[in-house]
Amino acid sequence: MASQKRHSRRKSIQNSDPGKILDLVLSLTDDGAAQLEVKINTYLHDECDADAVLQVVIHNVGMEASIDAVDSIALPRKNKICMTTKMADVLKTIMEQSDILTNFGSDFQSIVGPYVTKDNTKKRVIMFPVCDKTFSVIVCVIAPKLLEEHAAILIHECFL
């Protein structure tokens, strides 16, 4: 079962290193979405000390979901995945939720599987929505070593 936590939506950076955020922003000059995602994923992977980070991009018109990159790897092609009730709920609540990786769809797991460590522990996934009118993104941080609340704040501050 997914858990939900509500945090206030601050408009200033309070927990992230401003220098690292500035370096990230200055590096976001690529034309392709996958290359931009790789840079954001790498930043969040390092800051959250996570097994993997990815972004599920949802085109709001048809509710089509896809993954372009996992961690620092741009996938060879856009991978469409099933828009599950879990993901729709994350977008509706507009707050982070967490769940166990094994509770996700097989299409999601098959894309993410090669990028996470193969131990017998249950992998926690923090899902953080970034919503807009034409498309939305669910940032997924898999097995962060940080407290869930702190990881969610770092994600939020990354997308301010």
- CATH number of the domain within which 143 lies: 3.30.450.40
Q: What is the pLDDT of residue 12?
A: 67
Residue 1 placed within a domain: no
Sheet holding 3-4, edge to edge: 3-4, 97-100, 124-130, 135-142, 52-59, 64-70, 73-81
Range of the domain at 100: 15-158
5 lies in a domain? Answer: no
Number of domains making up the chain: 1
Q: What is the mean pLDDT of the chain?
A: 88
In a domain, 41, yes or no: yes
Span 23-46, mean pLDDT?
Answer: 93
- pTM of this prediction? 0.87
Q: Count of H helices and E strands in the chain?
A: 5, 7
Does 10 fall in a domain?
A: no
pLDDT for the residue 4: 54
Is 136 domain-assigned? yes
